[in-house]
């Protein structure tokens, strides 16, 4: 019986007789539309999209997975809380991947942050969906869920010896262990849960705190490990399995978490010479996607962009509002910035992209908050001169100048600069980055000012910015692998934290 009927035991609501009663958002006076999802195996799933009148102005979209003995209509009271705080909410009948695919292919919702929320069995669905789509999500919220179904059965007096018979396993703990540390996770536990002992949530929290420390399937320590910084575990002393969401401070905790999980700024990424924007986008999405918006810029003639590559053409950058109607066209040759936007803009460039980044920052210091450059050169002719025998003669005929050293001197002192280099770089030799560092340290141009500050206070503030500048060389990093070196992303995270949480640059 346990072997053949356990699906009925685990998913009782899925075996109820038709017709079934499902609450509608209409009964709660919520604006919504019916959504029908079709899975890969042609199963139709009925869902509700509780939506803002203007979808694009929502703070994000929450995909809500309900508990075991429920249907998605019973999740509407929770959904209403999030709707009134500015979110679209998709209440889903399982399965999770179909819901995420729907959001990612939606012309408007795909551009908004995606948050997954699951309670009880829905927490298991949420963790699984996050493990398959982590780089596409902005946050994960789970409430009163389990480490696995066999673990849950082991806690039941009469059938604990038969846990090995479980065919529905839901290995949430092992999946949690492989979520990226950059994905913010909120875990909510009712200490009086009579269905799933709160020890399951405690064990999941232990796994979440140490996830990513070891390399997957290798057991060795991960040199790129960056500990989770935005995860929260909150317990509610009087919360039962189905009443935790009614406890004092429950929704305040969720809303504060979502406030912190929103993008802290926008990183504009310029790639190197022998690649295109997609190469850096994948790297940055895996490391910083959950904290920042990532804009991967392309040059003329590269990737799928039109035109012919030139130094002058690569400098063409458009500073327009991010919501400009011409945004789609701009990705061919430039990027969009709004100097008045209440976000931080960070410019990042690797190799040739570092020269572009230095130029953009030197010309638009009033719109940019920080600069990160990796393995770039003082000038293109200087790179050519480093080649044996023929370097010096050929450098005379160099028409593409890229004078990064002279331009980095023109960057306002108030803009923090992080320079990252590889000692094993044979293409752009380390002395090039050292020369850029000397120029950066001695830059003196001041463009910004602080109202109501004396000249002494202004000078002290300027010195504070310069003190945020950093230059790091990685002994084993070469031209294309410096970002893989131990501590690389920890340094970037720390630098950006200081920029955004420290002295304001706007």
Closest CA to 3 of 162, 131, 138, 127: 162
> Reduced to 3 DSSP states, what percent helix, strand and coil does the chain have, rounded to the nearest 5?
40, 15, 45
Q: pLDDT value at position 389?
A: 65
- Decide if 359 contacts 411 (C-beta within 8 A): no
Query: Taking 60 as the threshold, does the pLDDT of residue 492 lie above it?
Result: yes
CA distance 178 to 217: 10
Architecture of the domain delimited by 2-213+226-259: 3-Layer(aba) Sandwich (3.40)
- For the segment 426-451, the average pLDDT, to the nearest whole number, is 80
148 vs 11, residue with greater confidence: 148
Strands (E), 80-239: 88-92, 114-119, 139-143, 185-190, 232-236
pLDDT band at 152 (very low <50, low <70, confident <90, very high): confident
Q: Between 277-288 and 488-501, two packed helices, what is the crossing angle to 10 degrees?
A: 70
Instruction: Point out which residues pair with 114 in neighbouring strands.
Output: 61
Q: pLDDT value at position 295?
A: 80
- For the segment 121-148, the average pLDDT, to the nearest whole number, is 92
Q: pLDDT value at position 221?
A: 59
HSE of 281, CA atoms in CB hemisphere, 13 A: 12
Express each pLDDT in 345-361 by its tens digit.
899 999 988 998 998 89
Across the beta sheet with 344-350, the strand order is: 293-297, 265-270, 344-350, 370-374, 417-422, 470-474
Where on the phi/psi map is residue 418: left (φ > 0), alpha (ψ -120 to 50), or beta?
beta
- Ranked by mean pLDDT, the top range of 107-116, 166-175, 384-393, 447-456 is 107-116
- Ranked by mean pLDDT, the top range of 65-79, 142-156, 228-242, 293-307 is 228-242
Express each pLDDT in 316-340 by its tens digit.
443 333 322 222 322 323 344 444 4
- Domain limits, CATH 3.40.50.1820, in the chain: 2-213+226-259, 265-321+332-443+467-501
pTM: 0.62
Express each pLDDT in 33-47 by its tens digit.
999 988 887 888 889
CATH, domain range 265-321+332-443+467-501: 3.40.50.1820
454 vs 109, residue with greater confidence: 109
């Amino acid at each position: 019986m346990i072997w053949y009927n356990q699906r009925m035991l685990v998913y009782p609501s899925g075996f109820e007789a038709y017709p079934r009663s499902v609450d509608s958002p209409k009964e709660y006076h919520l604006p919504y539309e019916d959504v029908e999802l079709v899975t890969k195996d042609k199963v139709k799933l009925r869902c509700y999209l509780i939506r803002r009148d203007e979808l694009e102005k929502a703070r994000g979209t929450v995909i809500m997975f309900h508990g075991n003995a429920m249907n998605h209509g019973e999740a509407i009271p929770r959904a209403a809380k999030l709707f009134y705080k500015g979110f679209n909410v998709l209440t889903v009948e399982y399965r999770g991947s179909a819901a995420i695919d729907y959001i990612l292919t939606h012309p408007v919702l795909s551009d908004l942050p995606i948050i997954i929320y699951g309670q009880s069995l829905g927490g298991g669905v949420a963790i699984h969906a996050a493990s398959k789509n982590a780089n596409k999500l902005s946050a994960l919220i789970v409430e009163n869920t389990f480490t696995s179904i066999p673990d849950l059965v082991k806690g039941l007096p009469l059938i604990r010896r038969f846990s090995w018979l479980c065919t529905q396993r839901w290995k949430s703990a092992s999946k949690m262990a492989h979520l990226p540390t950059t994905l913010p996770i909120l875990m909510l536990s009712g200490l009086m849960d009579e269905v799933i002992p709160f020890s399951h949530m405690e064990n999941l929290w232990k796994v979440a705190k140490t996830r990513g420390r070891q390399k997957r399937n290798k057991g060795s320590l991960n040199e790129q490990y960056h500990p989770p910084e935005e995860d929260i575990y909150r317990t509610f002393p009087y919360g039962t399995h189905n009443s935790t969401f009614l406890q004092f401070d429950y929704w305040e905790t969720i809303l504060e978490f979502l406030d912190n999980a929103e993008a802290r700024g926008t990183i504009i990424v310029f790639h190197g010479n022998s690649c295109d924007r997609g190469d850096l986008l994948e790297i940055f999405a895996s490391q910083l996607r959950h904290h920042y918006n990532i804009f991967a810029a392309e040059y003329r003639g590269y990737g799928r962009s039109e035109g012919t590559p030139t130094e002058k053409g690569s400098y063409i950058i458009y500073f327009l509002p991010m919501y400009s109607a011409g945004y789609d066209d701009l990705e061919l040759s430039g990027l969009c910035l709004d100097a008045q936007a209440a976000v931080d803009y960070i410019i990042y460039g690797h190799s040739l992209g570092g020269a572009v980044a230095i130029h953009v920052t030197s010309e638009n210091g009033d719109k940019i908050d920080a600069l990160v450059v990796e393995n770039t050169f003082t000038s293109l002719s200087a790179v050519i001169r480093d080649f044996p025998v023929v370097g010096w003669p050929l450098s005379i005929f160099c028409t593409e100048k890229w004078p990064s050293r002279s331009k980095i001197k023109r960057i306002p002192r108030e803009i923090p600069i992080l320079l990252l280099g590889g000692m094993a770089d044979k293409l752009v030799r380390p002395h090039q980055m050292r020369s850029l560092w000397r120029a950066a340290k001695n830059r003196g141009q001041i463009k910004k000012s602080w109202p109501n500050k004396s000249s002494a206070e202004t000078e002290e503030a300027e010195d504070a910015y310069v003190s945020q500048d950093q230059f790091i060389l990685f002994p084993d990093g070469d031209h294309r692998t410096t970002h893989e070196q131990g501590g690389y992303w920890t340094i970037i995270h720390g630098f950006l934290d200081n920029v955004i949480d420290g002295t304001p640059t706007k």
